[in-house]
A and B are shown apart, each in its own frame.
Chain A
Amino acid sequence: MIKEKEQKQPMPPIGAWAPAVALAWLIPGGGHFLLKRNGRGGLLLLAVTGMFVCGLLMRGAMFQPQNGDFLTILINTGGFIGDVCSGILYLLSTWLGYSQPDVAGHVHDYGTKFLVTAGLLNVLAMVDAFEIATGRKD
């Protein structure tokens, strides 16, 4: 069976998608609100914010980039990027002084994962906003 090659689509101008993607990063669901997809934007806002707030209430730790062996760099830098992808939620919580040390316990551990996953879910929302803004998706 011959696999058909997907046609490469030209990159749309940055002005068409950058505001939606930037807003989607800053405010979960914000890109969808900008593109008049209010229902989906509301669901994304609720889900990502709910995940992040649960992570805070479970006293999850925020990652900071660290030097060391490869695995330490990978986990901490990856976790830090995941945390930062939550946008205003991350910025607000760090500006307001949230600083939880990484301690043992399953609740803390879940909290840390919730915080990172909130950021990763927001990345999916950003990609969706990009696809809508560039007309690749309805």
Chain B
Amino acid sequence: MKMNLSHFEAAFLFSMFTSVVLGVVTKRTDRDRLQYGFYTFGCFLLALFGIGWLMYLGHG
């Protein structure tokens, strides 16, 4: 069995798992943890789309 993911799918999964851990270990209250988890996930997605477009435009 092998997972064949696109760049986007792999980066999306990576962002999700990493955001969960960062949210859990960083803040002190559950509310802050949830907020921080969503915040880091949003940042990952923003970087994913931003850098993706940058590379697309850079290649011409």
Contacts and interface: CB of A to CB of B under 8 A. Distances in A.
B14 interface: yes
B54 interface: no
A106 B1 CA distance: 17
Contacts, number: 65
Contact of B10 (A43, A58, A118, A128): A58
A32 to B, nearest CB: 9
Interface residues of A, number: 26
Chain A interface, DSSP helix/strand/loop, else mixed: helix
Contact residue range for chain B? 10 to 19
Given A57-B3, A58-B5, A107-B5, A44 B13 contact: no
At the interface, is chain B mostly helix, strand, loop or mixed?
Answer: helix
A107 to B, nearest CB: 6
Contacts of B4: 107
Interface string A97-124: 0000000001100100110011001001
Interface string B3-18: 1110100100110011
Nearest to A106: B7
